Structure 1
């Protein structure tokens, strides 16, 4: 991949010539596929199948839920392909919401990412990484919490260093981890195929037996399955670093989502072939249970592969999240220092470090999963707003050239399902949803103070300027040139 970066001179408001630097365009189609697949396949497919099965009650209905989750994800990704080729900014749905609904709604959307969603995801995935690394060491024993926290912190710090050093290195890490996690699932799938060939079909003799008739349980199963598909929109946060986004982004999205859906469905078929119903109910990590039963002294290879899977998940989240904050800083919705790029490595070091520091802070919380539940419905509200913006752009920007034009039926279907998920979130978890709403609304006073309030005290402005200069000197960073069609 090319290592050259675009440099140019721009004039500031006082007429001075300022050196600028852009992000490198190093991401190819293969890198795009591994970024999406590596972000989607994290800990979910190794943990979520038990939750889906508990809610659906049967193997066949579980497989159906996984397939429907994949179709829903594909529709959303299809809509994002048009948006990504229409608005080529490395901020994903934040950029689309900003253009369609204005700075306040976009700030609220970003605030959830800053405060909870993305840093919590990094913390959770890194803790899962630590758990599986320690599994062979503390086999059949309780793992010390401090050991998990320290190992999770080490994971975040290593990934942070790689992302500060080189985009090429971070995508290389993503490539390797993606190959490892796909290999682990292929091993499990092949084991299931062999067992089916040997006549182990007890769980498939009455596949729909025990299926729940409760709509609420089926909806919760759908929610649980969708957790494993999280990450399908992450490539949209890297569009400015793609060599040919118009050509490669749609291909990467379709290849990745189709591949992940196929792997998830086949992996669940293997789980239900190899394990009995009681074993599925009793285990929260089916892949490791399969390793215990099928691979003898080599059982540890599954925890190792899962650890690599989650390591790639942390890398993908930090890689893409830092770009959201970078773009937000470019349009003055985050501190200006977060918009700066290193002059030697062409990486957004300040925004990468910001994501890492907040994520490390969440490792100190005893129960960050509860915090994630508070903004569960906000996640789908975010996706829904982005897809709604597609319809808005169709009306407002009728004459704008669109490299990809999605049939309007698909965003309508996606929005209908999303509205149902949001409504059910309030019905099924009113307290959690209200807490999520309060967290979301807390962005409004912050927006007023930090963005709208222009006449801040001079000492405060001088302090911000000192921070910006200090960051520039410490990390050798400067502001990039703004894109031609800046938001």
Structure 2
């Protein structure tokens, strides 16, 4: 009897522990041991916290837009525009277009204050299938491949000083790029604040080198080095297609103006800070780009600029010697900061699409200890590592870049559509509708321009890949087949236990 009674008491004592273990296996419950953690910080719900202020928002825009392009190779705009004068005008016009596009996104972001950027707006305007195709293309290809190419640029310039007589070996570049991916993903998984601090520091470093280049250019202009600018418009006529390609390359350098909309839910006072950060950040980048190009032309002719493998490095060799090493050092800082911004926003898109059932459920989970979308960030980093392996992913970027402007155009169209279909939504920022119409027309032109100018079968393959998302959407998202759910459930459970992540609170 004594043994039976003791066993009965032990079973009762085990019941709470068993219940805790059962809860840990439930997708909507916390993990074992989380109660202690929540007691330490009971005020914070398991949602992404609003920790991005105005300064960090501006730095995210500026830091993501200013990558390696303006320092390494602005020659594509000059090549297609034909002369210095049209080249500078196109850089300025690209800045204006970026501002107009960002104003459209300011209205969308304050009208629909959800993270995920274009995904959330396409979902509201056109429904689930269109939003899914965007997330399928962007999460699986566009974002991770862009992350990979930026980290490879970082690796090439970071390793260059150790190989002064030749280019760094490919193995070294790829390993260093992979290490950068791991480091950046680790920073973003550890803390939103830490990722913001990193972004702020490296954005400041970018602005320092831009000030150095622009300042040197102003001194050279004051000394009378205006020969290349005095005949700025002496050139042969260029075709409409060539001008379009010049704009295409210029706008590629400006890409990143929409990044802030991916983290709307984490912005402090988004109705004020979202439009204000856009108004501050994008004009700042536009002025920097034009002034930097003017500085380049004070010391380089058009032919010298076109033949330079890295324009800013050539400028440094001509003007800043013996301090020319500053330029490649700051290019390293610039690419690292740009990669950090890319990772920061890409994780939010995978997180939001997972939350809406368009990606596997685990991507929508949040780290209980760090309150970051760790699974989504790790998934983006994992894909970036895969894209680092091939010999050349620039081709992949080129063939999918037209899809980015296709979705930009759809997003601008969604603004027009919701003016008529969602009149009840509050619009703290309301732009003239003509701006959205202009951006839709420009997006159509930029989508068709590279295809018409240089039609290749790879564009068809890219389009087929985008549409192939529907083959996954219909059974797994629309029909929600049970066997897929049953297959993913134990995988989700084990990943949840491994990473200590939980679903976001319903309040989000």
The 2-side partners of 1:52 and 1:355 are apart by 31
Equivalent residues of 1:132, 1:306 under 8 A apart: yes
Which stretches in structure 1 are left out of the alignment for 5+ residues? 1-11
Equivalent residues of 1:192, 1:269 under 8 A apart: yes
Please list, as runs of the form range in 1=range in 2, the aligned pairs for 1:213-362 lying within 5 A after superposition: 213-362=238-387
TM-aligned CA deviation for residue 416 of structure 1: 1.2
Residue 199 and residue 64 in structure 1: after superposition, are their counterparts in 2 closer, same or farther (change >3 A)?
Answer: same
Residue 397 and residue 382 in structure 1: after superposition, are their counterparts in 2 closer, same or farther (change >3 A)?
Answer: same
Equivalent residues of 2:160, 2:167 under 8 A apart: no
Residue 39 and residue 297 in structure 1: after superposition, are their counterparts in 2 closer, same or farther (change >3 A)?
Answer: same
Equivalent residues of 1:376, 1:433 under 8 A apart: no
2:504 corresponds to: 480
TM-aligned CA deviation for residue 57 of structure 1: 1.6
Alpha-carbon RMSD: 1.7
Residue 145 and residue 399 in structure 1: after superposition, are their counterparts in 2 closer, same or farther (change >3 A)?
Answer: same
CA deviation vs aligned residue, 1:122-177 (integer Å, no higher than 9, x gap): 01100110111122222341221111101111111110110010000001000011
Residue 483 and residue 78 in structure 1: after superposition, are their counterparts in 2 closer, same or farther (change >3 A)?
Answer: farther
The 2-side partners of 1:220 and 1:198 are apart by 34
Residue 312 and residue 354 in structure 1: after superposition, are their counterparts in 2 closer, same or farther (change >3 A)?
Answer: same
1:3 corresponds to: none
Equivalent residues of 1:425, 1:433 under 8 A apart: no
Residue 474 and residue 294 in structure 1: after superposition, are their counterparts in 2 closer, same or farther (change >3 A)?
Answer: same
The 2-side partners of 1:198 and 1:31 are apart by 38
CA deviation vs aligned residue, 1:328-350 (integer Å, no higher than 9, x gap): 11111111111011111101110
Do residues 444 (structure 1) and 470 (structure 2) align? yes
The 2-side partners of 1:122 and 1:290 are apart by 27
- Secondary structure class of the residue paired with 1:292: helix
The 2-side partners of 1:449 and 1:355 are apart by 24
Q: Which of 455, 458, 475 lines up with 2:481 in the alignment?
A: 455
1:7 corresponds to: none
The 2-side partners of 1:89 and 1:22 are apart by 13
Do residues 37 (structure 1) and 77 (structure 2) align? no
The 2-side partners of 1:117 and 1:30 are apart by 27
The 1-side partners of 2:463 and 2:147 are apart by 22
Equivalent residues of 2:72, 2:313 under 8 A apart: no
**Alignment TM-score, normalising by the size of structure 2:** 0.90
Do residues 21 (structure 1) and 43 (structure 2) align? no
2:416 corresponds to: 391
TM-aligned CA deviation for residue 447 of structure 1: 1.2
1:141 corresponds to: 166
The 1-side partners of 2:59 and 2:240 are apart by 35
CA deviation vs aligned residue, 1:219-270 (integer Å, no higher than 9, x gap): 1111111111111101101110111100000000111110000000000000
1:172 corresponds to: 197
- Secondary structure class of the residue paired with 1:64: helix
1:466 corresponds to: 490
The 1-side partners of 2:347 and 2:405 are apart by 21
- Secondary structure class of the residue paired with 2:322: helix
Structure with bigger gyration radius = 2
The 2-side partners of 1:376 and 1:218 are apart by 18
The 2-side partners of 1:46 and 1:178 are apart by 14
Residue 425 and residue 462 in structure 1: after superposition, are their counterparts in 2 closer, same or farther (change >3 A)?
Answer: same
Residue 464 and residue 439 in structure 1: after superposition, are their counterparts in 2 closer, same or farther (change >3 A)?
Answer: same
Do residues 122 (structure 1) and 139 (structure 2) align? no
- Secondary structure class of the residue paired with 1:231: coil
Residue 17 and residue 412 in structure 1: after superposition, are their counterparts in 2 closer, same or farther (change >3 A)?
Answer: closer
Count residues with an aligned counterpart.
469
The 2-side partners of 1:357 and 1:17 are apart by 26
The 2-side partners of 1:381 and 1:118 are apart by 15
1:405 corresponds to: 430
TM-aligned CA deviation for residue 450 of structure 1: 2.3
- Secondary structure class of the residue paired with 1:359: helix
2:20 corresponds to: none
